[in-house]
């Protein structure tokens, strides 16, 4: 079943069928309707590769997510929500989605950029901060429109979307302050990662604003994983003047800190309040349940898609300030979820 066959059966030319099915204005309503019905009846679907070939556009976006294994434990649960959000937003905008594979190291020609060219992809969305990736840098430096979520990469046709990490951290600290806490420590992620640095900055800003002292020992760097959180917790609680509350830049570390407290027979939240970041699945499963700063995965996905579309539709036709895109924030707000680990009554 192809367009020629459909044209034959409708008694019109292929051009008319094409016009009818593509909603071109020049077709009479009657013919369009007739062709539509027949197409639906016969189960006709246009051949996309053929369309792509002639139109020189594929309506397809590439998706890159996490190259190595490194980040696996880190962003896992978060990632799936993001993936889902991106997929939904993209399909609502009538784009197709192609999953790009990490290029094999043994094939020098394989690269994200190659894949984009081969498939006529119109843009790429990049999820998570990948380990320093050469292929990704080549892509970012190219003329391919890219939108990165929570990813530090820049290029001429590149946008970055991320949660408002600083504001999220601030909100967490403020929440703890409101609860009466005055000695609030933090466990950070690896500070070379932007989100980790931003969350620390938010913590500092909040403390400053609230007039809280931040002794040097109150800032401990972790690696986002459980054990580092527990070790940091051990250290903090062993201080001469231990904190009464901890803000951890990641949920796994927050849970680790709760374990540290438990090992000292301290009760959470009575003796130590804890707030994490990310709202991973486990946050709602542990006991006490973990208060956390949730990222809005849907909003992130939508913002990324909106930003990418802005890059796609006539990059230079309208003045920057007038583009719809700019209305969509590249910084997505977070939401504080108060649960047992910081709820006085719990």
Partner DNA sequence: CTGTTAGCGCTTTCAA
Partner DNA sequence: TTGAAAGCGCTAACAG
Q: List residues near a second copy by CB under 8 A.
A: 39-40, 43, 45-50, 52-53, 58, 63, 66, 73, 76-77, 79-80, 83-84, 87-88, 90-91, 96-99, 101, 108-109, 114, 117-120, 226, 252, 255, 259, 262, 280-282, 284-287
Please name which of 342, 169, 188, 202 lies closest in space to residue 261, comparing C-alpha atoms. Answer: 342
Within the chain, residue ranges assigned H as helices are 3-10, 14-21, 29-42, 48-55, 72-92, 112-119, 134-141, 165-178, 194-210, 226-237, 251-263, 281-285, 297-312
Coil, strand or helix at 75? helix
33 binds DNA per the rule CB under 7 A = no
Residue 188 site contact among DNA, a second copy, none (CB < 5 to 8 Å, cut-off depends on kind): none
The reply on whether position 42 binds DNA by CB under 7 A is: no
CA separation (Å) from 45 to 12, 29, 96, 223? 17, 20, 15, 50
Rounded Cα distance, 334 and 294, in Å: 6
The stretch among 15-23, 64-72, 293-301, 310-318 that binds DNA (CB under 7 A) is 15-23
The residue from 3, 171, 280, 290 that contacts DNA (CB under 7 A) is 3
Between 95 and 218, name the residue whose CB sits nearer to a second copy.
95
Closest distance to DNA from the beta carbon of 23 (Å) = 10
* 56 is a site residue for DNA (CB under 7 A): yes
Among 8, 33, 37, 53, binds DNA (CB under 7 A): 53
Question: CA 23 to CA 27: how far, in whole Å?
Answer: 8
Three-state SS at 337:
strand
Name the residue nearer to DNA (CB basis): 26 or 216.
26
Maximum Cα–Cα distance across the chain: 89
Part of the chain binding DNA (CB under 7 A), chosen from 16-24, 167-175, 196-204, 333-341: 16-24
Between CA 13 and CA 17, with CA 14 as vertex, the angle to 5 degrees is: 95
Q: What secondary structure letter does DSSP report for 216?
A: G
54 is a site residue for DNA (CB under 7 A): yes
Which of DNA, a second copy, none sits in contact with 15, Cβ below 5 to 8 A by type? DNA
Q: Say if residue 110 is exposed, middle or buried (CB neighbours under 10 Å; 0-12, 13-18, 19+).
A: middle
Minimum distance from residue 16 beta carbon to a second copy (Å) = 19
Distance of closest approach, residue 319 Cβ to a second copy, in angstroms? 33
Q: Which residue's CB is nearer to DNA, number 21 or number 127? A: 21
- Tokens standing for residue 222: 């972790």
Nearest distance in Å: CB 120, DNA: 9
Chosen residue from 23, 26, 107, 316 binding DNA by CB under 7 A: 26
C-alpha–C-alpha distance, residues 208 and 287, integer Å: 31
Q: Cβ(82)–Cβ(64) under 8 Å?
A: no
Out of 8, 15, 42, 263, the only residue in the binding site for DNA (CB under 7 A) is: 15
Query: Is residue 51 a contact point for DNA (CB under 7 A)?
Result: yes
Which residues sit at the interface with DNA, rule CB under 7 A?
2-4, 11-19, 21-22, 25-31, 46-47, 50-51, 53-56
């Amino acid at each position: 079943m192809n367009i020629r066959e459909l044209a034959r059966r409708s008694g019109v030319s292929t051009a008319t069928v094409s016009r009818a099915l593509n909603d071109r204005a020049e077709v009479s309503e009657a013919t369009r309707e007739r062709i539509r019905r027949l197409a639906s009846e016969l189960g006709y679907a246009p051949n996309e590769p053929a369309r792509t070939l002639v139109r020189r556009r594929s309506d397809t976006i590439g998706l890159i997510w996490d190259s190595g294994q490194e980040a696996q434990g880190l962003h896992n649960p978060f990632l799936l929500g993001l993936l889902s959000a991106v997929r939904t937003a993209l399909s609502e905008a009538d784009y197709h989605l192609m999953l790009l594979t990490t290029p094999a190291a043994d094939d020098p020609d394989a690269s994200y950029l190659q894949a984009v060219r081969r498939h006529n992809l119109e843009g790429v969305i990049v999820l998570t901060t990948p380990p320093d990736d050469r292929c990704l840098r080549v892509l970012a430096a190219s003329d391919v429109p890219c939108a990165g979520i929570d990813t530090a990469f820049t290029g001429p046709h590149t946008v970055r979307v991320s949660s408002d990490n600083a504001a999220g951290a601030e909100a967490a600290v403020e929440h703890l302050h409101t609860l009466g806490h005055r000695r609030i420590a933090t466990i950070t992620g690896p500070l070379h990662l932007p989100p980790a640095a931003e969350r620390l900055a938010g913590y500092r800003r909040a403390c400053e604003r609230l007039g809280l002292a931040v002794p040097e020992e109150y800032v401990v760097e972790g690696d986002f994983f459980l054990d580092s959180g527990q070790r940091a917790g051990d250290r903090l609680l062993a201080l001469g003047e231990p904190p009464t509350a901890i803000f951890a830049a990641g949920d796994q570390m927050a849970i680790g800190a709760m374990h540290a407290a438990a090992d000292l027979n301290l009760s959470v939240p009575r003796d130590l309040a804890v707030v994490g970041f990310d709202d991973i699945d486990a946050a709602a499963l542990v006991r006490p349940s973990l208060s956390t700063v949730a990222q809005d995965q849907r909003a992130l996905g939508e913002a990324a898609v909106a930003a990418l579309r802005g890059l796609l539709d006539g990059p230079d036709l309208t003045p920057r300030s007038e583009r719809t895109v700019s209305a969509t924030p590249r910084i997505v707000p977070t939401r504080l979820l108060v649960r047992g680990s910081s709820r006085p009554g719990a």
